[in-house]
Amino acid sequence: MRVPFASILVNLGLGLLFGVGLIVSGMSDPAKVLNFLDLTGTFDPSLAFVMGGAVVVAFIGYRLVLTRDKPLMAPRFQLPTRSDIDARLIVGPALFGMGWGLGGFCPGPAFTALGLAAPGTLAFLPAMLAGMWAARWVAERGR
């Protein structure tokens, strides 16, 4: 097997950049996320600025990148093509949002928190991976 060193290095760098972005933005701290979600209490609007900054950069950047015929390291762009609204698109985000509101972690920040080894993180992360595995397993069986 050809070992894709360039791809591994690039992905490592992109993961680092993404993770540093989460930390700089404050989103690696579940307390900030939970306070964003606490509209009637200790509301902290920071998360809206994170989303705003990320969406503006990605909105412009995607338009520039997608004028290319193909990406630098892959044969073609792989963009989601579905536009239907099915039950899974409501049920999944509803469950995700509940868990997000309980713990203050979504998947990215859960990984950046791993090395800091808070007990709550060490309970959350394996459970998250189990939940991901379960969803893949159920989806695979239903096919």
Partner 1 sequence: MTEFTPIASLIGGALIGLSAVLMMLAEGRIAGISGIASRLLPPYGDKSSAERSAFAGRLAFVAGLVAAPFLYAAATGTAVVQTVSSNLALMAVAGLLVGFGSVWGSGCTSGHGVCGLSRLSRRSFVATGVFMAAGFATVYVMRHVMGS
The CB-of-69 to partner 1 minimum distance in angstroms stands at 11
The CB-of-9 to partner 1 minimum distance in angstroms stands at 7
Task: Report d(CA 128, CA 47) in Å as an integer.
Answer: 22
Among residue numbers 64 through 93, which ones bind partner 1 (CB under 8 A)? 64-66, 68, 70-74, 76-80, 82-85, 88-93
Task: Report d(CA 21, CA 51) in Å as an integer.
Answer: 11
DSSP 8-state assignment for residue 121:
H
Among residue numbers 7 through 46, which ones bind partner 1 (CB under 8 A)? 7-32, 34-35, 37-42, 44-46
The CB-of-97 to partner 1 minimum distance in angstroms stands at 3
Among residue numbers 109 through 128, which ones bind partner 1 (CB under 8 A)? 110-116, 118-121, 123-128
